[in-house]
Amino acid sequence: MPYTPEQKERTRERILESARCIFNRKGFAEATIGEIMSAAGLSHGGFYRHFTSKADLYAEAVRRFLCQDAPKPWQTRQRTESGPKSRAQRILAAYFSLDHFNDRERCCPLIGLPSEASRSDQDVRVAYQEVVEKLLSIFEAELEGPHRHERAVALVALCVGGMVLARGVGDESIADDIRRAAYKQAIGIAGWKP
């Protein structure tokens, strides 16, 4: 009996979620189609009914971060905080949160996959760029005053660079210092109150 379109879409979503987690944790080169499909509860053979290649899956998994229907646990926690913060302020706080720092599988692909993206094919780099552009547009839309675009670029650079650097050190207290300092500087650039 053939799959209904709804079943096929649900299966595709399971594969994408599995891939996003495994790619973030292991990187493109180390992740295999077999383990991605297995983690999704599927056999390896069904992969090509949904994706043309591992690179195609990788690009879609990066884009999945933009999907509003699948918020990450660290984003959901931030949404429940009280206070009249704007969307950009909530995103910035969530980005530098300890929950996001610790979530190696569901973190933003900008910090989970930067060196992988730079070595990947054009489709993956385009998907990665889409996430950058989305984050830029959210920040720029809510910034006030002069040089909004430049300040939005600086915010994205602090978010990604701060978290990549914090994750790269072995000392937990230094990692916390990096996250907190980058967040404080980002808030200052934005002109927002913590």
- Are 111 and 153 part of one and the same domain? yes
Sign of CA dihedral 79, 74, 131, 166: positive
Q: Using the predicted structure, report yes or no on whether residue 191 has a pLDDT greater than 70.
A: yes
Tens-place pLDDT, residues 10-40: 999 999 999 988 988 888 888 999 999 999 9
Of 49, 66, 83, which marks where a domain is finished?
Answer: 66
- Are 41 and 56 part of one and the same domain? yes
- Are 55 and 130 part of one and the same domain? no
Tens-place pLDDT, residues 147-189: 999 999 999 999 999 999 999 999 999 999 999 999 999 999 9
- Are 100 and 125 part of one and the same domain? yes
- Are 85 and 36 part of one and the same domain? no
- Are 78 and 27 part of one and the same domain? no
Percent of the chain with pLDDT over 90: 48
Q: Using the predicted structure, report yes or no on whether residue 120 has a pLDDT greater than 80.
A: no
User: Into how many domains does the chain fold?
Assistant: 2
User: In the prediction, which pLDDT does 79 show?
Assistant: 47
**Confidence class of residue 119 from pLDDT cuts 50, 70 and 90?**
confident
- Are 62 and 128 part of one and the same domain? no
User: In the prediction, which pLDDT does 121 show?
Assistant: 77
User: In the prediction, which pLDDT does 172 show?
Assistant: 95
CATH number at residue 53: 1.10.10.60
- Are 11 and 79 part of one and the same domain? no
- Are 79 and 12 part of one and the same domain? no
- Are 115 and 168 part of one and the same domain? yes
Of 66, 91, 111, which marks where a domain is finished?
Answer: 66
Cα gap 165→36, rounded to integer Å: 28
User: In the prediction, which pLDDT does 1 show?
Assistant: 57
Tens-place pLDDT, residues 63-106: 877 655 544 555 555 444 555 588 899 889 999 999 999 988 88
Tens-place pLDDT, residues 6-17: 888 899 999 999
Token pair recorded at residue 110? 């900008």
User: In the prediction, which pLDDT does 80 show?
Assistant: 44
Mean pLDDT of all residues in 116-141: 85
Of 66, 82, 112, which marks where a domain is finished?
Answer: 66
Q: How many CB atoms neighbour CB 158 within 10 A?
A: 23
User: In the prediction, which pLDDT does 83 show?
Assistant: 58
The domain of 38 spans 5-66
Cα gap 22→28, rounded to integer Å: 9
- Are 61 and 121 part of one and the same domain? no
- Are 41 and 130 part of one and the same domain? no
Sign of CA dihedral 194, 190, 68, 24: negative
